[in-house]
Amino acid sequence: MAPLVLIVALTACAPAPAPNGAGAPSTSAVPSAAPTPARDVPVVSSTVQPVRAALPPVRVQIAAAGIDMEVVPVGVEPGGFMELPPNPAIAGWYRFGPDPWSPDGNTVISAHIDAPEYPIGPFAQLRDLSPDTEVTVVADDGSTAAYGVVSVTYYPKQELPTEDIFARAGTRALVLITCGGAFDSTTGRYADNVVVVADPRT
Amino acid sequence: MRKTIAAGVVAGFALAAGFIAPAQAISPTTADLSVLHGIPDTPVDVYVNGELTLDDFQPGDLAGPLDLPAGDYAVALTATDAADDSAPILGPATLTLEAGKSYTATANLDEAGAPALNLFTNDIATTAAGQGRLTVRHVAAAPAVDVLAGGAPVIQGLVNPDEARLDLPVGTISAAVALAGTTEPVIGPADVAIQDGVLTIVYAWGSAADGNLALAVQTVTVGHTAPGGVPSGTAGYAAERDAMNQAFWIIGFAFAAAAASVGVVVARRSRAAKIDA
């Protein structure tokens, strides 16, 4: 008897070939002379422009689950997997991707569900979040970003849609990830990832 | 198979996928073309295949990208008051664009200071996670240069109209251009951002003799590499706890069932006893 009641949904979510933003730069008006151009081409100055600096999240809070966790920036491990803080009580924000205040793309925050010699982590509760649960991400300068849970999904690890999860373009979702499902003590790995998707709320 | 709670809501990513904007407009049959104006003090009109395409195009400006079918294009630059491209100041030149590629055409000065057109192919290959790509192009009327990052040469002996390319960890570099073999900047330093999944192209343009050397920057979003997975549990404690909870439920259930059946038996026995009595 499973301790959880899960509504099973199959979604046709083929990993799209990473379409990564781009987008034409803003167009400046071109004064017309005779003749007029055949098409409208965006023109920008090529002078060195300051690039928006990332605003790293420092806490993730889910009041309904009693979660208020420290968040630190992380990258990738040598094997190409997302790096995570060893302590399950600390979450990692994927610093090569968007932050909550980026104009586009998903903010990805992940934490171990458990690790040897540590208590079970707060993200063990992710699987129990119900739709519309409020999630707040906080930056060091006091900025906050509010989200509402849209879905909680178990993905077998090899089917994790990483291109979609780590998308740079499209909606500004928050993605929280931990492990779940059956634990294989011979490999020291869980079978699934538990993925929470939350949409921005004002 | 995957399992999702949140009834009535399509799992997050099917939803999000619909909103993903196309990256470059590049398709299997088209190419992207940008145009950089790197001839100082000379606004121009740009004609492509005889059609006015860029009107009053100013030095230092970057136009595009244009999504164009693969093929040959005749490009000519005229004075800004020209009625057509019959009297170009540069060109006509033929640009051959291959499908699926990204190009930047530059109108610039050659090493001797004469106007020239160059067509560069932008490297839009996917970058590794945590890396961005830097391409440096020498399109200035100047001799060979070194490119300095943080004061140290990272590209050496670059001559007009060549380019050099390297992938770097994300961050900000203080970029400067010095005459080859020297470390005294003739352009810059300027802070250039190296962004994950982004090609940053830095042009050295202008004229050393006229003292108007400058940097131009173009960014092109290329593919990034997403992490291969998220291994986020290594002890199995949570699974153990689940198993124990489940065991308690099962044991508890068994006790309850056993107690109930004992009760029934007792009841039956006592009833039987009563009948016997």
Could you report the per-residue pLDDT of B19-46, keeping only the tens digit for each? 333 345 678 899 999 999 999 999 999 9
Long-range contacts of A179-184 (CB under 8 A, 24+ apart): A179/A112, A179/A113, A179/B230, A179/B231, A179/B232, A179/B233, A179/B238, A180/A113, A180/A126, A180/A127, A180/A154, A180/B233, A180/B238, A181/A154, A181/A156, A182/B239, A183/B233, A183/B236, A183/B238, A183/B239, A183/B240
Q: If we measure between CA atoms, which residue out of A23, A89, A197 comes closest to residue B221?
A: A23
Distance from the Cα of A66 to chain B's closest Cα (Å) equals: 17
Whole-structure pTM value = 0.79
Instruction: Using pLDDT thresholds of 50, 70 and 90, give the confidence band for residue B250.
Output: low
Per the CB < 8 A criterion, the answer to whether B126 and B119 are in contact is no
Give the residue extent of every domain in chain A. Answer: 57-201
Specify if B13 maps to a domain: no
Whether the complex's predicted ipTM surpasses the cut of 0.85: no
Contacting B residues, span 174-213, partner chain A, CB-CB under 8 Å: 190-193, 195-197, 203
Q: What percent of chain B has pLDDT over 90?
A: 70
| The pLDDT value given to residue B5 | 52
| The pLDDT value given to residue A4 | 37
Q: Is the dihedral of CA A177, A22, B71, B69 positive or negative?
A: positive
Specify if B79 maps to a domain: yes
DSSP SS3 for A128: helix
Specify if B273 maps to a domain: no
Nearest to B60 among A1, A46, A173 (CB): A46
The CATH number of whichever domain residue B77 belongs to comes to 2.60.40
Residue whose pair of structure tokens reads 């979040």 in the numeric block: A129
Specify if B135 maps to a domain: yes
Helix (H) or strand (E) holding B274: helix B237-276
Contact check, Cβ <8 Å, A183/B14: no
Nearest chain A residue to B79 by CA distance is A33
DSSP letter for A155, please.
E
Nearest to B55 among A37, A165, A193 (CB): A37
Specify if B246 maps to a domain: yes
Minimum mean pLDDT range among A11-15, A36-40, A133-137, B237-241: A11-15
Q: Is B129 on the interface with A (CB under 8 A)?
A: yes
| The pLDDT value given to residue B9 | 37
Q: Are residues B78 and B154 in the same domain?
A: no
The CATH class of the A57-201 domain is mainly beta
DSSP SS3 for B269: helix
Set of chain B residues whose Cβ sits within 8 Å of the Cβ of A105: none
Instruction: Using pLDDT thresholds of 50, 70 and 90, give the confidence band for residue A7.
Output: very low
Residue whose pair of structure tokens reads 């509010």 in the numeric block: A146
Nearest chain B residue to A158 by CA distance is B229
Mean pLDDT, residues A150-155: 95
Domain range holding B137?
125-224
Q: Are residues B176 and B218 in the same domain?
A: yes
Specify if B274 maps to a domain: no
* More confident: B52 or B246: B52
Instruction: Using pLDDT thresholds of 50, 70 and 90, give the confidence band for residue B263.
Output: low
Contact check, Cβ <8 Å, B193/A189: no
Q: How many domains does chain B have?
A: 3
Contact check, Cβ <8 Å, B5/A130: yes
Contact check, Cβ <8 Å, A153/B221: no
Q: Which two tokens stand for residue B53?
A: 């395409």
